[in-house]
Amino acid sequence: MCCSISNEMRRHSPPPAGLLGCNAKGLPIAAADEIPLEFGAMLWRNNAFEVLRPAPRHETTLPFATWMTLARATPAQLPLDEAQALLGDEGQLP
């Protein structure tokens, strides 16, 4: 992983998946058994994903009421990114 994720976030996040593609001849670049067992494995072939091995399922520890509260919640509005404001209107320099 490229960044640090807390154990609490990992516990409630979907299981990781290994994604494979095909080479120029249309052959998979690796086999599903080359991906660790704690990962699922999917292959991108002919413009579609093919599940080679599903990710292991884990018990959910969040109570049902919490899931429903999260489902009904409205996401908070984030402020506009200040870096984007520096871009200005098209054709104008800041």
Please tell me the predicted confidence (pLDDT) of residue 1: 37
CB count within 10 Å of CB 53 equals 15
Give pLDDT tens digits for 27-59: 898 888 888 888 889 998 888 899 999 988 877
**1, part of any domain:** no
pLDDT of amino acid 69: 92
CA distance 37 to 41: 9
**Position 4 in a domain:** no
Examine residue 2 and state whether it is found in any structural domain, yes or no: no
Residue type, 88: G
User: How many structural domains does the chain have?
Assistant: 1
Please answer whether residues 16 and 42 qualify as being in contact, where contact means their C-beta atoms are separated by less than 8 angstroms. no
pLDDT band at 65 (very low <50, low <70, confident <90, very high): very high
**DSSP helix/strand/coil, 22:** strand
Domain, as residue range, for 19: 10-73
- Find the mean pLDDT for residues 65-81: 82
